[in-house]
Amino acid sequence: MENEQYFEVDHLTKFFPVKKRGQFFGKPIYVHAVDDVQFTVRKGKTYGVVGESGCGKTTLARMIMHLEKPTSGRMLFKGQDITLFNGKQMKALRRQMQMVFQDPFGSLNPVRTIRNIVAEPVRVHHIFQNRQDEKIKVQEMLETVGLSSSDEMLEKRPGQLSGGERQRVGIASALILGAEFIVADEPVSMLDASIRADIIALMMKLKEEKNLTYFFITHEFGMARAICDRIAVMYAGKMVEVADAASIVDHPLHPYTQLLIDAIPPLIPDPNWGKNISEGEVPYFTVPPPGCRYHPRCSRADELCKSEIPELVDYRDGHFAACHHV
């Protein structure tokens, strides 16, 4: 059962220091980007994190990939504490975990050929002794992600590819080392709806074929619902609700989750849509409000919410919510 706890995060926190305007000395103040988050990703499953910009979801992904150092907390990969891994250990670990980035236009080096981009990880890890083996592997990866493996394709540069094709290249280079844990940060948010479905279908197919585990970050609830096994909703650095995909969408417990779902325009236009959308935005916290962070926007808020931070509580069969008024 060791696979049950595949990737675990324990009280993970990230504060970014910021200075007040004109301040050079004295104590810095901190933005609470990720605040005391814990969760477990199970092997072969897709764990989704949904939230608006600034909720801390990207910081969370970056910490998992060691692109950002946590302020406190622990991360365990297959039972091993990887929080304090050094560069060398991380390099070895990256053969098992890789990231797919959001922006297929910005994340690929525009002057390198597709062959070099996809081959980069195997070169860094000195996998192949000769170029021919490497080329065969690159071609195999391109085919795996549904791209042509012709010499013409290998010599193309990112600028000659469409957004969807570029994202496929990104996936190919993430998988070439045989990684099994993929952190995907909004992999399709910059693509057209028609292509989006394609890339998602590809990612799901690869998951089946290679028994991958995904940590999937998105701001689109609909997408999370379609592909994730479990979904966590983040607000202002905290997880406010965690549950199985169907459960969280069909029976949301937290008012913020409800707001996120209500905000999605329905597929069939509905004149009543938008009635429940309150004004207000995700705040920029240096000093988070006391108690529940959502209380300034919440219609259910009362005195308790202003003073006491709600904990994630299991309300029914693994459906957790952090709200005093469920």
Interface with other proteins (CB under 8 A): 52-53, 162-164, 192-198, 200-201, 204, 219-223, 225-227, 245-246, 249-250, 259-270, 273-274, 277, 279, 281-282
State in angstroms the smallest separation of the CB of 176 from other proteins: 24
State in angstroms the smallest separation of the CB of 160 from other proteins: 13
SS3 5: coil
State in angstroms the smallest separation of the CB of 265 from other proteins: 4
Nearer to other proteins, 127 or 249 (CB): 249
Reference 41, options 6, 73, 13; nearest CA is 6
State in angstroms the smallest separation of the CB of 251 from other proteins: 12
State in angstroms the smallest separation of the CB of 57 from other proteins: 12
Contacts 24+ apart (CB under 8 A), 193-198: 195/162, 195/163, 195/164, 196/223, 198/164
State in angstroms the smallest separation of the CB of 109 from other proteins: 23
Helices (H), the chain: 57-64, 87-93, 114-124, 131-144, 151-154, 163-175, 193-210, 221-227, 245-250, 255-262, 303-307
Rounded Cα distance between 103 and 121, Å, is 19
State in angstroms the smallest separation of the CB of 215 from other proteins: 18
Residue 265 burial (CB < 10 Å; 0-12/13-18/19+)? exposed
The residues with which 217 forms a beta bridge, in sequence order, are 49, 185
- Give the strand pairing for 230-235 and 238-244: antiparallel
Contact between 306 and 325 (Cβ < 8 Å): no
Nearer to other proteins, 94 or 207 (CB): 207
Contact between 188 and 196 (Cβ < 8 Å): yes
> Exposure string (b/e) for 216-245, b if CB count within 10 Å is 16 or more?
bbbbbbebbbebbbbbbbbbbbbbbbbbeb
State in angstroms the smallest separation of the CB of 204 from other proteins: 6
